[in-house]
Amino acid sequence: MKSIDSTGTSPKGSVAARSRLATRGCVGATRQRGITAGRLRLASLLGAIVLAAGPAPAQEILPTTGIDLPVLGKIAPRQAKDIPASPWWSIGGETTDRDFTVFRHYQKYLGPLGAKSIRVQAGWAKCEKVKGVYDWAWLDEIVDGSLAQGVRPWLEFNYGNTIYSGGGDTGLGGGFPSSPEALAAWDRWCRALVGRYQDRVFEWEVWNEPDLSKKSTTTVEAYVELYLRTAAMVRELQPRGRIWAMGLAGRVEYADEFLAGLKAKGRLDLVDAITYHGYPKNPDDTTLADKLRDVVKKHGRAIELRQGETGAPSRYQENFALSRLSWTETMQAKWDLRRLLSHRAKDIPMNLFTISDLHYTQASSQPSADGVLRMNYKGLLATNPDQTISHAKPAYYAAQAVFSIFDGSLGRVAKYPFTTTALRSLALTGYARQGGAGQVVAYWFTDAPPDASLGVTRAEVTLPAGKFREPVVVDLRTGLVYAVPQDRWEAAGAGVKFKALPIYDSPLLIAERSALPL
């Protein structure tokens, strides 16, 4: 398909030339006002972040303008294997079952990203191309290759398999297996899958977005039956395994009817969590989670909610969620950051969609099959036409900073009030590191979706519960860490007040320096 937009392509030329491109906006501006040592250091650090992409051509990380604080350094990325525990973050590794992305191409970027788990669609149709014969080689590569880097896979039972009559469809929006022969084959494959990986995989998701399909085989009642037979088998083979329902696209009534159906059969105990998806224009919109919490409460059982799939594209695309909108790689980084932290503020674990750009081709058994390549640019890694990795996008480094800081040792403070002189709506959440290592406060403007602007405004922010000895400001989008001079903060009752604090539509942190990986 002809490209509609060229936004986000990597500049060609030498490494030095790419570094100059990355810092031009910063250095060029300083020449008019006199170059200061601090600004030169900012340019140098941004250049270092760009060059950290490794062998792939690096996309520039544009500097934030108007932050008049001394630069201390940047957030040190942490490999997943070096993070002891982090229950909050997963990265999407979807569609390898249909070869829309290739694990070996993005594998070397997985561990350094810092997410502790990865969502993988196990792909019945890819595993069983001949009746009764299973090919596990491709899935072994993903499971073992992820675990070797400290990343725990969670597997999804999906989709149908057309080698069986009534076997359902092999892609999103397709039908469930429905014939007696196909359901028996589904049972055998699911049992073989759990049996093979039960010593390495402990979370299982049953299907993906069943509420999208309009086929007669995908009614709520049919999903209840499919879920029951699959989840009961997991409980039998792996009693301590966790079973996640739905991967809901967004129809709250579907979730309500599903839970009612299970409750009527006395089997709500088979649901450890409900996964749901969502792609709102404003990434701070978590109303779907609020509605689902009400539905779960209505059915009288404590069931965890997990955001199972959400992310923004990095350029214009004609298809898929958030399509036909103007996007840049900077806007993607802002959107993903806000989406991650808006879910963390509600204690909802989140899977960021997705690690690599996706090359969708419609398989013959999928609805609306036409063989046309459709690109989904929501990856943190940009791809070449052959699906190899072109470069890590700014969103990769932004997510890496979040995963490095917001691990299992950083807990949310339940009540963390604030006041501000800012004229725009501000999101602000406080966190505290275990062991008294200090507080971390995330904040950003929340009244509109992120745009491509890079300038900050300044306002006072008072934190009545704030406890700081050596506060710093962190720009998560760039990874840069700034000192806060003594004249820019002061005691305010039992808390603190920050003066002329930089704020924009991308998350920044006020943090105790000792609470950060530097």
Could you state, in order of their start, the residue ranges of all structural domains in the chain? Answer: 1-63, 86-406, 411-515
What one-letter code names the amino acid at 66? G
Query: What is the band of 362 on the pLDDT scale with cuts at 50, 70, 90?
Result: low
CB 250 within 8 A of CB 288: yes
Beta bridge mates, 192: none
Phi first, then psi, for residue 503 (nearest 5°) are -145, 140
Query: Which two tokens mark 33?
Result: 């006002």
Is there a contact between 450 and 334 (Cβ–Cβ < 8 Å)?
Answer: yes
Q: Which residue has the tokens 């997963």?
A: 90
Percent of the chain whose predicted confidence (pLDDT) is above 70: 87
Residue type, 120: V
> For residue 368, what are the CA distances in angstroms to 27, 99, 169, 177?
50, 18, 12, 19
Collect contacts of 179-186 with beta carbons under 8 A, ≥24 apart: 183/229, 185/128, 185/131, 185/161, 186/124, 186/161, 186/226, 186/229, 186/230
Question: Which among 330, 318, 326, 448 has a CA at the least distance from the CA of 376?
Answer: 318
Q: Encode pLDDT of 78-90 as tens digits.
A: 999 999 999 999 9
pLDDT computed for residue 372 by the predictor: 84
Residue 369: pLDDT band by 50, 70, 90 thresholds?
low
3-state DSSP call for residue 182?
helix
What pLDDT was estimated at residue 371?
74
**pLDDT tier for residue 361 given thresholds of 50, 70 and 90:** confident
Q: How far is CA 72 from the centre of its chain?
A: 28
**CATH fold of 411-515:** Immunoglobulin-like (2.60.40)
Q: DSSP characters for 138-178?
A: HHHHHHHHHHTTT-EEEEEE----TTSTT---SSTT-PPP-
Contact 240, 204 (CB under 8 A): no
32-41, 74-83, 180-189, 244-253: range with lowest mean pLDDT: 32-41
Question: CATH number for the 86-406 domain, one of 3.50.50.60, 3.40.50.2000, 3.20.20.80, 3.40.50.1370?
Answer: 3.20.20.80
Reduce the DSSP state of residue 44 to 3 states and report it: helix
Q: What is the mean pLDDT of residues 263-288?
A: 98
The pair of structure tokens assigned to 452 is: 């491509």
CA distances from 253 to 29, 190, 506 (A): 53, 28, 33
Name which of 481, 462, 334 is nearest 405 in CA terms.
481
Q: What is the mean pLDDT of residues 145-174?
A: 97
Residue with tokens 């943190």: 380
Residue holding tokens 């900073």? 401
Q: Looking at the DSSP assignment, which residues form a beta bridge with residue 147?
A: none
Model pLDDT for residues 297-356, shown as the tens digit of each residue? 999 999 999 999 999 999 999 999 999 999 999 999 999 999 999 999 999 999 999 999
pTM of the model: 0.89
Enumerate the H helices of 384-505 as residue ranges. Answer: 394-405
Q: Is the pLDDT of residue 214 over 50?
A: yes
User: Quick one: 187 exposed, middle or buried, by C-beta within 10 A (0-12, 13-18, 19+)?
Assistant: middle
Mapping DSSP onto H, E and C, the string for 267-299 reads CHHHCCEEEEECCCCCCCCCHHHHHHHHHHHHC
- For the chain, give the mean pLDDT: 90
Q: What value does the mean pLDDT take over residues 441-447?
A: 99
